[in-house]
Amino acid sequence: MNARADARRPGPVQPAPSSGASGASPVAGHDGASALAPLFELRGIAKSFGPVEAIKEVSLKLRRGRVHTLLGENGAGKSTLMKILAGVYQPTRGELLLNGAPVVFSRPADAQHAGVSIIYQELSLAANLSVAENIFAGHEPRHFGVVDFRQLRRRTRELLDELGIPIDPAAPVARLSMAERQLVEIAKALSRDADLVIMDEPTSSLSDRDADLLFDIVMKLKARGKAIVYISHRMDEIMRISDDISVMRDGRYITTENKTDTTIGALIALMVGREMSDVYPRRAAPYVRGEKALLEVRNLTLDARFHDISFDVHPGEIVGFFGLIGAGRSDVMNALFGIGRTQGEIVMNGKPLTLRSPEDAISAGIAFVTEDRKHQGLVLMHSIAQNVTMASFERKGSRFGILRSRFEDDQTASAMTRMNIKAHGPYQRVGDLSGGNQQKVVFSKWLALKPKLLILDEPTRGVDVGAKFEIYRVIRELAAAGTAIVLVSSELPEALAMSDRLAVMREKRIVKQFDTAGLTPETVMSYATGAMQS
């Protein structure tokens, strides 16, 4: 294995030769591919963490030149299984086979040497280093044992150009947006000449345009005869790029389907173990906008972040914000939560509102579910109970500055029931929960305050279909009870289905506002891209 690693030369993705790879067509149909021996095979893989069995007897075959999607709710065991393939975890039972021969990965370096590269859902970049230093971390070009920074930047530029990623190799990662960091993470994984590329929620922070760039990269890898494992909760992209789709539920392998032989509805039913007739729950009663707005924003401006933002939200109304990455949506939401000194006017319940800090916003009845739940929404080392009551105990649950245990118990029990949080108990560490359950804890933290205005920035990012449905249900309940909601989403079907009105942003400004009844995705995208002007 080490000899194979030494023979490898990490480098950028190259265009595919027209004849395919390894002497066989890597883009053969399903029947032709099934005749080929798998590159990797997982046989009876199981993994336990103490008494908890996260994976139970999973077997898969991963073949060259095919995209094998792994589908399942958060907590189904997908990421754990991929970490076994990447050498992060070792299986409790079962075996891995590489080209038909058993192989053991005792550490991530073993998997890398064997040709496995993984793009994690949670970014692993060093913010204080440059793009180039992050991409080639651990295998930097050297001259006489010293990092050759000129060659490092050149090779990074070549790789980024080959992938079509317009980012400066010398730029510090700390200055990049979440979407740009995700693209750097992708380039980092592809800087090694891997035979198996694992992508865990790679489009979770990407706009539709950037996602198209990723799909082009996937097609190049397929054509080179690479095996690709793809994990996503976005059903449209799964049906777009997959060849084979394996479903997991509760740590178990359910089935593998050819993409051409199944449907989204059938896959969802397999994944959640029940039929879901409507992913986006409808309002119990038609929304009727009142005369008086809860929130009025007039000419709000923050230099270099956004300009001349004006909109309003009424009680019980859901106002969506849509735009491509960099349009300024999240910056507007941060400002409405007291982050950043703005010019312009914010009026709430008819009275001017000055927001100097998040504390001012919370006092005014504003809550904010941020897009970055792990760093800004939760304290991962703390329990579910501690996170649920974090924002509310000083106002509602403390006496003389001491948290009342009855308040904590009641709030946590209510939250776990209302949001259907799946956990061992209220005192389990939030960092040990799946992404969907973590997001439910973030919601619960703010719902304990009973806010008048709830700002939701990408509330279902990295969340599976079942958890999304539960989050949408709670959003509908809150709106029906009179809570005003501002919803930012990069998923256009979500933004259209869940919003009463939709504001489209481009180049740091609102360029159009619509009632969503009868609104088409094509119309929204035409304004978001600048194809149509107001």
Judging by DSSP bridges, how do beta strands 295-302 and 306-313 pair with one another?
antiparallel
Token reading at 413: 């029990």
Q: Are 225 and 30 in contact (CB under 8 A)?
A: no
In this prediction, residue 1 carries a pLDDT of 38
Q: What span, in angstroms and rounded, lies between the C-alpha atoms of 40 and 258? A: 18
Structure tokens at 343: 């010019």
Torsion over CA of 75, 79, 80 and 83, rounded to 10 degrees? -170
- By the 10 Å C-beta count (0-12 exposed, 13-18 middle, 19+ buried), 121 is classed as buried
Determine the pLDDT at residue 25. Answer: 32
Closest CA to 205 of 442, 66, 373, 353: 373
Structure confidence at residue 275 (pLDDT) = 54
Q: What is the DSSP string of 113-174?
A: HTTEEEE-SS----TTSBHHHHHTTTS--EETTEE-HHHHHHHHHHHHHHHT----TTSBGG
Measured between alpha carbons, how far is residue 46 from residues 57, 119, 216 in Å? 5, 22, 34
Tokens of 102: 């058993």
Domains of the chain: 2-121+190-271 (3.40.50.300), 293-365+452-534 (3.40.50.300), 375-450 (no CATH)
- Contact by Cβ (8 Å): 103, 97: yes
Each residue's pLDDT, cut to its tens digit, for the chain (534 residues) gives 343 333 343 343 443 333 333 333 333 333 444 447 899 999 999 999 887 788 999 999 999 999 999 988 767 888 889 999 999 999 999 999 999 999 999 999 999 999 998 887 666 788 889 999 999 988 888 888 888 888 999 999 998 988 888 899 999 988 887 778 878 888 888 888 789 999 888 887 777 777 888 898 889 889 889 999 999 877 888 899 999 999 998 889 999 999 999 988 888 778 766 555 567 888 888 888 888 999 999 999 998 889 999 999 999 999 999 987 778 999 999 999 999 889 999 999 999 999 999 999 999 999 999 888 877 888 889 999 998 988 776 655 455 556 567 777 888 888 898 888 888 888 899 988 887 888 899 999 998 889 999 999 999 887 777 788 889 989 999 999 999 999 999 888 889 999 999 999 988 999 999 999 999 888 998 898 787 776
Distance CA 446, CA 127 (A): 29
Helix (H) or strand (E) holding 404: none
Angle at 75 between CA 70 and CA 79, to 5 degrees: 50
pLDDT of residue 236: 82
CB atoms closer than 10 angstroms to residue 97: 16
Task: Give the per-residue pLDDT at 74.
Answer: 66
Between the alpha carbon of residue 367 and those of residues 165, 371, 443, the distances in Å are 35, 13, 9
Q: What is the pLDDT of residue 401?
A: 56
Amino acid at 511: V
Q: For residue 330, give both structure tokens.
A: 């999240």
Q: Cα separations (Å) of 387 from 83, 359, 438, 516?
A: 27, 17, 10, 35
